[in-house]
Chains A and B, each alone.
Chain A
């Protein structure tokens, strides 16, 4: 059972928008930065969003991140079939002094 809660799956049609939530607590999301990762089948995770809402070089602006209180959200607009992947949130837990990942969300582009 993950410290951070994500929906197991989300789906949307090509061209549409989807959001993926990540819920935590004051000891993790509430007081630390959140990052988001995309994991395509059979590959290593790839950083999409860091420090809640910043995109690394090369990540298109179709991907966005936000944080409010003890929850964070990843948004993806203009969905493409190539966006089908597992998405994970991650942050630091100050009470435990450990990193924590969400359980992951499988995105299906119908």
Chain B
């Protein structure tokens, strides 16, 4: 049973970098999956951020492309999200999720709240 667990700072200063990690257990990060990040601002809907394939190919939300990087760490069986130059608009619950080839996010982490504030 594959499980995901997000971790990272809950508070980031404006103009700083948001860095989150998603630890994968019960499965290998090298499997042919799309490893994804989704966020949800308080009281709002889900927003797709981006994804990375096991080969390293990436897709990013157009409006975030200049600020975001998703990467794999096969040695630690985890993947990461970095979002630079954050503002209060980046305050959200951040989820990691997997698309295991069924064109859907079938496994989700529990989510981690990140607040951008000085």
The reply to whether chain A is a binding partner of chain B is yes
Q: Are B48 and A35 in contact (CB under 8 A)?
A: no
Contact assessment for A51 and B59 in the assembled complex, using a CB-CB cutoff below 8 Å: no
Which of B46, B48, B61, B108 is close to A104, meaning CB atoms less than 8 Å apart? B46
Among A45, A51, A88, A92, the one with the most B-chain Cβ atoms within 10 Å of its Cβ is A45
CB <8 Å contact, A35 and B104: yes
| Neighbouring B residues of A51 by C-beta, 8 Å | 102-104
Q: Interface digits, B42-80 against A, CB 8 Å rule (1 contact, 0 not)?
A: 000111100100000001111000000000000000000
Within 8 A of B (CB), among A26-41: 32-33, 35, 37, 39
Q: Does A99 touch B at the CB level, under 8 Å?
A: yes
Total A-B residue pairs with C-beta atoms closer than 8 Å? 63
Number of interface residues of B (CB under 8 A): 21
Provide the main secondary structure of the chain A interface: strand
Q: A44-B95, A50-B104 are in contact. Are A98 and B61 (CB under 8 A)?
A: yes
Cβ–Cβ contact B36 & A99, under 8 A: yes
Tally chain A residues at the interface, Cβ within 8 Å: 28
Q: Does A102 contact B (CB under 8 A)?
A: yes
**At the interface, yes or no: B109 with Cβ under 8 Å from chain A?**
yes
| B6 to chain A: closest residue by CB | A44
Residues of A close to B62: CB separation below 8 A: 96, 98
Q: With A44-B111, A45-B95 in contact, is A98–B106 under 8 Å at CB? A: no
Contacts of A60 in B (CB 8 A): none
